[in-house]
Structure formats: C-alpha cells, structure tokens
C-alpha cells in the first residue's frame, strides 16, 4: 500500500470496535449520549451522512499503541481514542478496572517484543519513573543489535479519570513516561487555537508519534482528528454557515498526510 487510491478497502474491524461491542453487551440499557436520535455509523460512530469510514487507511508505522479505557469511555460517540486504532495497525484496547486487571493486557506490557511508554503528564507522576520527551533508538535497543517496538500506553478518559487510573494501577508506575515539554504543548495549542492544554486522546497520540520520530504519522493522526471533529459538528448541525470549511478540505488534508506516511516510514 504505497499511496492513497480512489478504490480503497477500509481496514478491518479493530480493537476499539471489538471493545465497544463487548462493553455494550454489558449494559442493561442504551448509552444515553447527546444526539442519541442521530442515526450513526456502527464503526466511526458519526452520523451516517458524515461517515468517514471510506477514507480510513492504516499508516505505515513502527509504533504500537495500547488504549486503557475508563468504563463507559468506549461507548461515547465523541471518544477520540478509536481514531488511533483507525490508523495504527497494532493497537490494543482494554477496559480499566481497579481490581481483576486483564491478564492479556499485563502480558502485552511484559512481552519481550515491546518497550512500553506511558504517555502521561510529568506533573502527575508520583514515583521515580524515568521521564523522556523523545523516544530514540537508544531507548529501544537491546543486546545483539535487536530493537524493541515502542508501545505507547494511553489512558483514555477525562483527565480526572486518567489520573485515577494511574494512581490506582501499580503496573502503570513501573514503565518510562513520555511527557511533553510545556513549549511543545503551547505550540500545539496555538496551532489548534485551543485555550487550554487538556488535549483529546487522539491529539496527545499525534504528539506521541512525533516524539517517537514519526512526525508524518503525527500529522496524519492530527488531520484524521480534524476530519472527525468537523464531521461530528456537521452531524450535530452546530456549525454556522459562515464558519463552515468544505469537508473536502479536511479529507484532502488527511489524504496528503496519509500519502506522506506511506512514503516516509521505512
């Protein structure tokens, strides 16, 4: 898959789709999100008229992700964690529980193939964990010239929920932490026009990809997030006509970033 094409087969059902179906099976009543009367796509969870699934393609990447999702976060149509799984082939997703931690999740964190990094703000780290701002080859090298795959661990929920997950999960306090410098966040917030630094999960993941030496994939995820946000707003009819940018511009921006990804990672 060397470049984008007008005839694209969307990637298969991914980990967040499967986790969504599992979590939904545990519910005794439908999740009461805003816009619950909107007819949504079962995969992207956007309004059917603004479904983005036809544009979804995997990136060419050497990075893996693990999403640890807070209770009903996976049920929220606004959840951006699924956008990571849309683009990153090796993405794993688990529900967080305070007890009975998923053994499969722990096994992945201990797998010799991976080097986990918790993507988390340094100011909330309570242990003596190693803090890094970039992931380099030296962070991944092992004996005899072998290298591990970076496994970026994302705590998917509100910031309050993410802090709770961290504090109540000793296994999260044993791995290196990827944390971003204030100037990095400020630059990103300025570009996005944000008024605070409480970025969404996909936005943080885009920064993490750049820190893992894959800036073109960081841009691709950022543009995929932009398309998701615009499609969501259109589906809720919350855009003033004078502020609407043609949706094709968001699609084109993602396709250009996707092409750069396919050409940029060896």
The pLDDT profile of the chain, 266 residues, written as one tens digit per residue, is 334 444 445 568 999 999 999 999 997 776 666 656 788 999 999 988 889 999 999 999 999 999 999 999 999 998 999 999 999 999 999 999 999 999 999 999 999 999 999 999 998 998 789 999 999 999 998 866 789 999 999 999 988 999 999 999 999 999 999 998 766 665 555 455 443 446 789 999 999 999 999 999 999 999 999 999 889 888 776 555 555 667 889 999 999 999 999 887 55
Could you tell me which of 7, 27, 39, 109 has the C-alpha nearest to residue 68? Answer: 109
**pTM of this structure:** 0.87
- The backbone region for 237, taken as left when phi is positive above 0, alpha when psi lies in -120 to 50, beta otherwise, is left
Structure tokens at 100: 């009975």
Task: Describe the crossing of helices 215-235 and 201-211 by its angle, rounded to 10 degrees.
Answer: 170
């Amino acid at each position: 898959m060397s470049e984008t094409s007008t005839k694209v087969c969307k990637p298969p059902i991914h980990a967040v789709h499967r986790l969504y179906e599992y979590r939904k099976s545990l519910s005794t009543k439908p999740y009461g999100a805003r816009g619950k009367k909107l007819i949504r796509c079962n995969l992207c969870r956007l309004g059917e008229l603004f479904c983005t699934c036809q544009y979804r393609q995997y990136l060419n990447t050497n990075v893996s992700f693990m999403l640890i999702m807070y209770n009903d976060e996976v049920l929220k149509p606004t959840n951006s964690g699924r956008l990571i799984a849309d683009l990153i082939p090796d993405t794993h997703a688990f529900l967080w529980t305070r007890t009975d931690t998923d053994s499969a999740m722990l096994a992945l964190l201990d797998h010799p193939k991976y080097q986990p990094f918790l993507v988390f703000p340094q100011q909330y780290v309570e242990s003596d964990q190693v803090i890094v701002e970039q992931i380099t080859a030296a962070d991944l090298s092992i004996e005899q010239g072998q290298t591990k795959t970076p496994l970026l661990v994302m705590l998917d929920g509100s910031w309050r929920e993410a802090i709770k997950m961290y504090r109540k999960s000793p296994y999260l306090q044993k791995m290196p932490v990827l944390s971003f410098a204030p100037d990095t966040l400020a630059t990103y917030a300025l570009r996005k026009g944000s008024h605070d630094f409480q970025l969404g999960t996909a936005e943080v993941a885009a920064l993490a990809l750049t820190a893992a030496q894959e800036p073109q994939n960081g841009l691709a995820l950022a543009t995929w997030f932009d398309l998701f946000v615009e499609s969501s707003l259109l589906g809720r009819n919350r855009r003033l006509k004078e502020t609407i940018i043609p949706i094709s511009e968001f699609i084109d921006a993602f396709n250009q970033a996707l092409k750069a990804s396919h050409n940029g990672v060896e």
